[in-house]
Amino acid sequence: MKPLEVHVRGKVLHIACSTKDKPFGSREVTLTGKNGVSIYIFRKEIGIWKLAYGDLPDDLREACIDAIILRLDDAVAEMFYDKGKRQIVEIRPKPKGLWHVFINHAYAASIRHDGRNWEFHFDEDSSLDNDRMTKYVGMISMGKVRWIDRDGR
């Protein structure tokens, strides 16, 4: 597998990694240190990535998790930080030209396409704004986010 690109402390690290699918939908990523001996295991359980084995400084651990999310979570449209907290945006297609936007697994917005026009509504208390929603509409219209056709695919 291609090395994981981790951005931390103004540097870009390329870390050897391997993935393994586990039972019940969990996933495991093993990162190997420069010395080829150090091993760090990250595990996704109940939709959340955590360091399961190894000891890393907080900033490096979080940077590795960011890189893993962006590389391996197909449903993630965007990741950003708001008030120091990681915000993971997922856009999930629904039938009949509708998409739901979730932030950290909580519903935050909807996007609708009626064949000609796009419209969206978002929770004012969320970290979403018109610019972000317009960006997501663009991602959908360019095919970067999956559609569900009339026959449910």
Q: What is the mean pLDDT of residues 58-66?
A: 94
Structure-model confidence comparison of residues 45 and 89, the more confident one: 89
30 in a structural domain: yes
150 in a structural domain: no
Work out whether strand 76-82 and strand 48-53 pair parallel, antiparallel, or are unpaired: unpaired
Helix (H, G, I), strand (E, B) or coil at 69: helix
Q: What pLDDT, on the 0 to 100 scale, is given for residue 149?
A: 56
Q: In this structure, are residues 25 and 80 in contact, taking their beta carbons and an 8 Å threshold?
A: no
Q: Which of 73, 97, 114 is the last residue of a domain?
A: 73
pLDDT tens track for 81-114:
998 899 999 999 998 889 999 999 899 999 999 8
Q: CA-CA distance, 18 to 4, in Å (whole number)?
A: 9
48 and 99 in one domain? no
84 and 64 in one domain? no
96 and 63 in one domain? no
Domain range for 44: 4-73
Q: CA-CA distance, 88 to 110, in Å (whole number)?
A: 16
Straight-line distance from the first to the last Cα atom of the chain, in angstroms, rounded to the nearest whole number: 30
Over pLDDT 90: what percentage of the chain?
A: 63
Q: Say yes or no to pLDDT of 153 above 70.
A: no
Structure-model confidence comparison of residues 33 and 108, the more confident one: 108
Q: Say yes or no to pLDDT of 151 above 60.
A: no
Q: What is the mean pLDDT of residues 41-52?
A: 89
62 and 14 in one domain? yes
Domains identified in the chain, total number: 2
In this prediction the pTM is 0.79
How would you label 105-114 residue by residue, b for 16+ Cβ within 10 Å and e otherwise?
eeebbbbebe
